[in-house]
Structure 1
């Protein structure tokens, strides 16, 4: 598979986010099927896997750790701290002592001696970013982690953090229908030599073309039910974009999902597309985007069709919006 650079690591440009196997998108698959997805990814050449302490409140790390452990010499493993499950609820806590304790817990669940890339999952705005990143820098010195990342931060926060310790990667939502990184953080990453890891590159399923009626297709506990963009009225408007989008995919000789991933990878040589799935079939389809190069005119048509001015609905509700530091369009 095509390789790209994150800090000291060469990784597959198409990376597997493991959250869906334990968390957030309705009922997760059984353990056997989840392990089969992971093994299929390994067999297909994926060598960059992403988990977090939050996912399944530790269950995801306990799932992926044993499967990936025999392959640690040939993969890059990422996890996250700063947002965890405490007494059954999500808690954002970026205090140095919490970060270090979370790292120890993650190492135990993963069955690992070191985590390759360790992200601050969310910036706890009650704690200076310098203090949280300082704790991560100490974990590097202690040999517990190899590189430091940040998630859903602004360019200004990235620069403050980078002044304390080199940041290897910023992870934020990025796709045709979520363009916030284009405001500033993509440029900041390029200027600082930081990789950009785009999560939800398939627009949380919208760009696969298979999610036509969230009201009936999404389970009650699916996180998308809390996102305004998936409410009935805005989603009905957004569906109007899919006919033109599918036509471009057909002309390009690929599936809608592959087109979405190829568009993300075309945004820069420092960009990695981090997708998630519960299905081996969908995994195989997504990995078909490897090596798919889009002509400039195709990219221009996509940009004109799906962009911040043509997509309806906010990506997060008001409560979740307060938890992130990402720049917002006016």
Structure 2
């Protein structure tokens, strides 16, 4: 069914901007379609109010892939005739090579590849081992002051690290991270719904849900050929085995499994945006059908999918994406 309404917007954290509740990701997305198809998809998404695009330069650390998805996105935006002021761009800083590769170098390179001179928000990505959080906050604040972007968040940090970053920024009069981009899905709930992050959400932090389909598995692509994200807790096979139940629950509500996965994330009280990747207008329309499911059955979704929570008692609620990391000060 073709979607025709305007997608609603929510505030990205108590002090953040208003954003559409759906955003389009870039990892292994734009490089899966022809440029004309990508331009048509971007044009349709923006016309429907889905004008938030999470775009990164994937050539750092585990993502040292020399990917061109960001280049394709930049060309497609121009081909679609979408003006810069008509869309929101969320970029990424990678921490694996930081501070050897500075944030200033990263943002300049990333934006030049897209073909613009500014982002709207930036996410400080995953990291392994120790990190000088004070330096991260200070360096990000310098780039905010320089006008590269206005809002920032973090990607799959532990709640303890994020709380430290927010408290340090506020104490020093700098812009704090206002949102967390977290793995969140029917199967992965322990971190976004745990008490440590719950206290941050109570304090006004916003949630940006990512990897909601587990690389496509929870949308029915049980054996994705493309590279997909990390597997905290080693539960991917169990998630794959749970898909038939997700499909049965969705069918009870007259929806697809993909719509169920998206609508579920939007029931989180702090959720501002659900990020997903699509490869065409038809798939975008199908995903946006999650709004109808949410409107019709929003109060029923959580109890209906309780049995699909796979990482319960497997991943600690204060863990980062890769490990049950101890708290750091």
What is the TM-score normalised by the length of structure 2? 0.79
Partner of residue 91 from structure 2, selected from 67, 71, 79: 79
Displacement of 1:159: 1.1
Structure 1 gaps, min length 5: 84-91, 315-319
Q: Please tell me whether the aligned partners of residues 201 and 260 of structure 1 are also in contact (alpha carbons under 8 angstroms).
A: yes
1:57 maps to 66
Partner of residue 211 from structure 1, selected from 211, 221, 224: 221
1:182 maps to 193
1:235-274 deviation line (CA, Å, top 9, x unaligned): 6xx43x3444323222322211111111100111543211
Displacement of 1:96: 7.6
CA distance in 1, matches of 2:312, 2:104: 43
Give the 5 Å matches for 1:35-46.
Answer: 35-46=39-50
Answering whether residue 286 of structure 2 is matched by residue 277 of structure 1, we say no
CA distance in 2, matches of 1:174, 1:185: 15
C-alpha distance 124-139 of structure 1, shift in aligned 2 (>3 A): farther
Displacement of 1:22: 4.8
Answering whether residue 103 of structure 2 is matched by residue 104 of structure 1, we say no
1:154-184 deviation line (CA, Å, top 9, x unaligned): 1111111112231121101100101132224
CA distance in 2, matches of 1:185, 1:109: 37
CA distance in 2, matches of 1:109, 1:172: 26
C-alpha distance 309-105 of structure 1, shift in aligned 2 (>3 A): closer
CA distance in 2, matches of 1:82, 1:326: 21
1:17 maps to 25
C-alpha distance 301-8 of structure 1, shift in aligned 2 (>3 A): closer
2:10 maps to 4
What is the TM-score normalised by the length of structure 1? 0.79
CA distance in 2, matches of 1:57, 1:145: 24
Displacement of 1:67: 3.6
CA distance in 1, matches of 2:72, 2:163: 34
Displacement of 1:145: 1.5
C-alpha distance 110-325 of structure 1, shift in aligned 2 (>3 A): farther
1:272-302 deviation line (CA, Å, top 9, x unaligned): 2111122332221111112523343332121
CA distance in 2, matches of 1:225, 1:194: 24
Give the 5 Å matches for 1:1-330.
Answer: 1-6=7-12, 7-22=15-30, 28-54=32-58, 57=66, 59-68=68-77, 70-83=82-95, 92-95=96-99, 98-123=102-127, 125-163=129-167, 164=169, 165-179=175-189, 180-184=191-195, 186-208=197-219, 210-212=220-222, 214=223, 218-219=224-225, 222-223=227-228, 228-231=234-237, 234=238, 238-239=240-241, 241-291=242-292, 292-293=294-295, 294-303=297-306, 305-308=307-310, 321=322
CA distance in 2, matches of 1:32, 1:175: 31
C-alpha distance 207-66 of structure 1, shift in aligned 2 (>3 A): same
Task: Determine helix, strand or coil for the equivalent of 1:119.
Answer: strand
2:4 maps to none
Q: Please tell me whether the aligned partners of residues 150 and 167 of structure 1 are also in contact (alpha carbons under 8 angstroms).
A: yes
Q: Please tell me whether the aligned partners of residues 194 and 270 of structure 1 are also in contact (alpha carbons under 8 angstroms).
A: no
Higher helix share: 1
CA distance in 2, matches of 1:325, 1:225: 15
1:199-238 deviation line (CA, Å, top 9, x unaligned): 0112322222x224x2xxx33x53369884445xx46xx4
RMSD: 3.0
